[in-house]
Homo-oligomer: A and B are copies of this chain.
Amino acid sequence: MTNKINIGIVGYGNLGRAVEKALMNSEDLKLEAIFTRRNVKNIISDSKLLHISEIKNYIGIIDVMILCGGSATDLPQQSAEIAKYFNVIDSFDTHAKIEEHFIGVDEVSKENEKIALLSVGWDPGLFSLNRLLGKAILPNSTEYTFWGSGVSQGHSDAIRRIKGVKTAIQYTIPIKEAIERVRHGEKPVLNDGEMHKRLCYVVAEEDADLSFIENSIKNMPYYFLGYETEVNFITEEEFKNKHRGMSHGGFVICSGNSGENNFVMEFKLVLDSNPEFTGSILVAYARAIFRMYKEGKRGAYTIFDVPISYLSSKKAEDLRKELL
């Protein structure tokens, strides 16, 4: 195929590597180069690994830049900066700041005649799509989002900041009883702590006060207070052997009704690797926004604005025949 879409990756952590891997399965997309600030030597594919300072050399060559930095510090700077020169897609996921981020990138993209697709992943992302689908089809419905079982980086970090903690990991576990009530159309009023419990594995320093650590975790406001929290102290060896996974998942349940008839719509993900699945989503949506760009669309969009057929490289007729 001569008309491949040229892709660039910015940032080469777990997500960047996942995008690189997903691109190797995509015949219509070509990975042109990976840009990083770090001192990385080896990459998985036979693409080029370049310092971020070389990015402007690829203006007019790379069709879509997939931004794989973090939402805390990278993307708030990078997305708007890179959107001056390239079409971009990012997975910005700090819910409270999405609108601010969107407005900033939208302005830059429009000024520079580019397109940007923001906050793409599974939540925000595929889960958002299902919340919207439920709400639009059943206007009187209630949408519930359960996360897990999976690792929360934010909660793991919070534990690691406690005095006496060497390292730690926190799993978010959806509560079965809550799931069953929602699945059966009960429409209960539930807060986050009634839907999830928190399971912690902590490696303590040699002379640490274990009960201090346990109490500090369980009483930490916002993070653990109000949640059923279990704290387990383990050895460093057990930690290294058993807690390196990146599995995650969760589900969105939309519970609605029309008079006496109940409807329950559920979308569920079980993921061995959170970054690899997110990377696969980004690659499919990179294809989609380049198509929107070629149609003349400019400025920032979200996953809500993209027809699902645009994610596929197949012709509309084939999609109708094979999947409708």
Given the known inter-chain contacts A136-B308, A139-B25, A280-B137, please indicate yes or no for A99 contacting B272, CB distance below 8 A: no
Q: In the assembled complex, how far is the CB of residue A190 from the closest CB belonging to chain B, in whole angstroms?
A: 18
Task: Kindly state the separation between the CA atoms of A139 and B28 in the bound complex, as whole angstroms.
Answer: 12
A102 within 8 A of B: yes
Q: How many residues of A contact B (CB 8 A)?
A: 66
**Please, which residues of chain B bring their CB within 8 A of the CB of A324?**
95, 98, 119, 124, 128, 302-304
Q: Closest B-chain residue to A311, C-beta based?
A: B136
What CA separation (Å) do A321 and B128 show in the bound complex? Answer: 11
The interface residues of chain B lying within 8 Å CB-to-CB of A262 are: 270, 272
Set B258, B264, B303: member contacting A21, Cβ < 8 A = B258
- Pair A281/B137 contact, Cβ less than 8 Å: yes
Asked whether A273 and B302 contact (CB < 8 A) given A308-B129, A324-B98, the answer is no
Spell out A's residues near B (CB within 8 Å): 18, 21-22, 25-26, 95, 98-99, 102, 119, 124, 126, 128-133, 135-140, 143, 183, 185, 257-273, 276-277, 280-281, 284, 302-309, 311-312, 316-317, 319-321, 323-324
8 cross-chain pairs, A with B, having the tightest CB-CB distances, nearest first: A136-B311, A304-B309, A261-B272, A261-B273, A266-B268, A136-B312, A264-B270, A131-B323
